Amino acid sequence: MNIEEKVVLITGGAAGIGKAAARKFSTAGAKVVICDVNAEAGESLAKELGVEFYCVNITDRKAVQAWVDEVVARHGHVDVLVNNAGITRDGMFVSVKEGVLVKQMEEAAFDSVISINLKGTFNCAQAVAPYMIKQGGGVIINVSSVVGLYGNFGQTNYVATKAGVIGLTKVWARELGKKGIRVNAVAPGFILTEMTAKMPPNILDDMKNKTPLGRLGQPEDIANVFYWLASDESSYVHGTVISVDGGIVIGT
């Protein structure tokens, strides 16, 4: 699928969906470069797969630019960016008992999720776009979520970022399409990663019950879609959001 020798950047590549994507692309012969704030996990994966690892905080615009500049200096080009890095800091918007406010989402929790999930996506795409324009094309894949489409209880901050990522995708598709850069978003459903595996069994069962296919997704289910979107097989897919969610129906 014309992936061999392409330079693929994956943020949040040390674990979960990012790790599965790194394995998928590297197995196909791509030159995979991952970044993550978890240096230990990143270095371990780099050694296991033979990929390149950089410890980068994607909220730091200068650090992101330095990372991308170094990758291009080393390889001469950058073909694919998978904007995968993200966090959750869940909590009720407001919680009221007998008319009295007892708890609300903390400002720090809102700011940190916005900074990583939304600004980080912006930072990375803006760093690679000029190089892609200069070389005549490229692919940007932004990771949203089904909750960005439907909302979800207790996730004001996370939903705001994932809906925002869809908005970024639509704008960049309009602005960058004529430059040969395809931009799409992937909206995973409930995926069994290191993060979700720590959830209580009753929560995981509820996730399964809301998924018509009757199971949680695997990171590889998402990595497979990244791989297709990065390839020439999807050359006319642009500015869209692909849900990979087992047919999930989200309720309160």
pLDDT in tens, 136-168: 999 999 999 999 999 988 999 999 999 999 999
Q: Report the alpha-carbon distance of residue 233 to residue 225 in Å, rounded.
A: 11
Residue at 172: amino acid letter: W
Cβ neighbour number for residue 243 with a 10 Å cutoff: 19
The confidence score (pLDDT) of residue 200 equals 82
Whether 236 is catalytic: no
**Residue 29 token pair:** 């012969």
pTM: 0.96
The confidence score (pLDDT) of residue 187 equals 97
DSSP 22-53: HHHHHHTT-EEEEEES-HHHHHHHHHHHT-EE
The confidence score (pLDDT) of residue 197 equals 77
Q: What is the mean pLDDT of each run of 10 residues along the chain (252 residues)?
A: 92 98 98 98 98 98 98 98 96 95 96 98 98 98 96 94 98 98 97 82 88 94 98 97 91 54
The confidence score (pLDDT) of residue 252 equals 47
DSSP 69-115: HHHHHHHS---EEEE-------B-SEEEETTEEEEE--HHHHHHHII
Q: Which of 54, 131, 158, 227 is catalytic?
A: 158
Would you kindly state where each structural domain of the chain is located, as residue ranges?
Answer: 7-244
**Fold (CATH) for 7-244:** Rossmann fold (3.40.50)
